[in-house]
Structure 1
Amino acid sequence: MKIAAVQFLATGSTKDNMQACLERIRAAAENGARLVVLPEAASQAFGTGRLDTQAENLEGSYASALRAEATRLGVTVVAGTFRPADTIERDGKTINRVYNTALITGPDLHTGYDKIHTYDAFSYRESDTVKPGTQLCTFDVDGVTIGVATCYDIRFPEQFRELARAGAKVIVVPFSWADGPGKLEQWRLLSAARALDSTSYLVAAGQARPGGQEQAGQDSGPTGIGHSVVVDPTGRRLTEAGYGEEIIYADLDIERVAAVRKQLPVLG
């Protein structure tokens, strides 16, 4: 199975981001990808304004446009977006929270995974504006079960092990990882570890680093560090992006998953 991980830098405009996503989906499909993974927050970058003002359900213009193009091209697409969730009162303010949703769409498929582990860490509280999801999610592409996780979920190994136990042989991870001292090292370690301890392929697509390599290593907030990656079930990186915008590809040998799990039976 050929997959593509799309790394780009989203803006604050859902309309502009939709066009950017469609262009990259077409490019990936033309290069033979059957599964195209785009970053978390692909519809609206973090730090660009209130998320609730552009949040849409899966019947909205952003999700519908990606669905139509994925269906036309015969590919499956995963892309980060935001959906309306609930209204809460906090510190005297009324907040319209959203779900941080990984849209999953293509021929005869249109659903989403709501990020379970909100990024309440390093003095940031995603749960103030994002309602956590509660359900694991898998879907099928060409007879292969695919699991889904989003960004901060990667710090919770049991989610990845449960997806593997549910039949996932590939786990896709849209992300928008904060930069800062030691953060790239943490990302590279965690992405390899989650592939290894779930004995699955991991396909992670992230936001490019604002400012590129010149800003690398500086605190950025949750606005991207690049380094999209494909990792095999033994934790070996098959391909990895840098800080800028690009699309990376890999041909996944799905039969290798069963062989690795036989040699390393850690899911029992």
Structure 2
Amino acid sequence: MVKRFVKVALCQRGVTGSKEQNIAETVSMIEEAAEHCPGLDLIIFPEYNYYESLSLEEARANSETMDGRYITEMKKQARRFGVNLIPGSFAETCGEKVKNTCALIDRSGEVAGSYSKVHLMDAIGIRESDAAVPGDKLGVFDTDFGRIGLMVCFDLRFPEQPRSMVLQGADIIFCAASFPTGSPLPPRTDHWDLLVQSTALLNLTWTCAVNQFGSICGGTENPFGRSMVVDPWGIVTASALGRRDIVYATLDMQHQKEVRGRVATWNCRRPDIYTL
């Protein structure tokens, strides 16, 4: 059953320190979110929240399993505050390379599922596949407040993914990202805004996207934040400031049901003539 009002917190931060510093900052933000907004259903952090590696060697050296220090600590925090937690992604050990993986941890502190980024960013001057292998399944999970779909950053550029997740029953779409301004290409802040809002509007589905804020890759790439919550009408209902910030929002699932009834694109679809 889908809960009527779903309370979420998007923790926007820059992943620039050591693994120890990133864990400490993550715990601090979980504490802040839980104390500021009692009764939260889910807290989510950005892509590579544990550590942002700049090479295959660094990624392998800093990779962990689901039983490693990072997820073990995050399980403890989810249990401590009784909240569902997506602690951003981390480099999961996978043979000679890694996977860009997000864990979904439930209120009891157990891993309820995991999603490894399907679309690796071999584009715009970046070759993520040099260090990572792609996942091979969608991130659709049942929670105690409804079914969710989970994506990571570059996945936003592939509309088939959120559409497929909603077709599989996802009530809310979450995205963890490290989405930079772009260098030397023109800024991509407009891409982020359009992609997140269109994901919500085209699927008539609440969409929550959290981005890093700070400098990575030796300062050549700068994630710009702009974490946001977008309603099924495509309206930004909550957004982050241009700094470390936590975005709080209450998602009205009855509003989503009413929008879907009014716009009716789900009823008017013609899958019999689409080529995917």
Identify whether the pair has TM-score above 0.5, normalized to the shorter chain.
yes
Deviation by residue 1:61-100 (Cα, 9 ceiling, x = unmatched): 100100111012110111211101132xxxxxxxxx1100
* CA distance in 1: counterparts of 2:63 and 2:90, whole angstroms: 8
Runs of 4 or more consecutive aligned structure 1 residues displaced over 4 Å after TM superposition: none
Q: Does 1:86 align with 2:85?
A: no
Shift of 1:46: 4.4
Q: Does 1:68 align with 2:76?
A: yes
Shift of 1:266: 2.9
Given that 2:176 and 2:211 are in contact with CA atoms closer than 8 Å, whether structure 1 keeps it comes out as yes
User: Runs of 5+ in structure 2 lacking a partner?
Assistant: 1-5, 270-276
Shift of 1:239: 1.1
Q: Residue 215 of structure 1 aligns with which residue?
A: none
User: Runs of 5+ in structure 1 lacking a partner?
Assistant: 88-96, 212-218
Correspondences of 1:109-258 after superposition (within 5 Å)? 109-110=110-111, 111-180=113-182, 181-210=186-215, 220-221=220-221, 223-258=222-257
Q: Does 1:44 align with 2:57?
A: no
* CA distance in 2: counterparts of 1:46 and 1:254, whole angstroms: 38
Q: Residue 273 of structure 2 aligns with which residue?
A: none
Is the partner of 1:51 in helix, strand or coil? helix
How large is the Cα RMSD of the aligned pairs? 1.8
Is the partner of 1:112 in helix, strand or coil? strand
One-letter identity of the residue aligned with 1:266: T
| Identity across the alignment (%) | 31
Given that 1:35 and 1:141 are in contact with CA atoms closer than 8 Å, whether structure 2 keeps it comes out as no
Given that 1:179 and 1:220 are in contact with CA atoms closer than 8 Å, whether structure 2 keeps it comes out as no
Q: Residue 98 of structure 1 aligns with which residue?
A: 98
Given that 2:15 and 2:214 are in contact with CA atoms closer than 8 Å, whether structure 1 keeps it comes out as no
How many residue pairs end up in the alignment? Answer: 251
Given that 1:209 and 1:243 are in contact with CA atoms closer than 8 Å, whether structure 2 keeps it comes out as no
* CA distance in 1: counterparts of 2:134 and 2:265, whole angstroms: 28
* CA distance in 2: counterparts of 1:245 and 1:210, whole angstroms: 13
> Aligned match of 1:4 in 4, 9, 16?
9
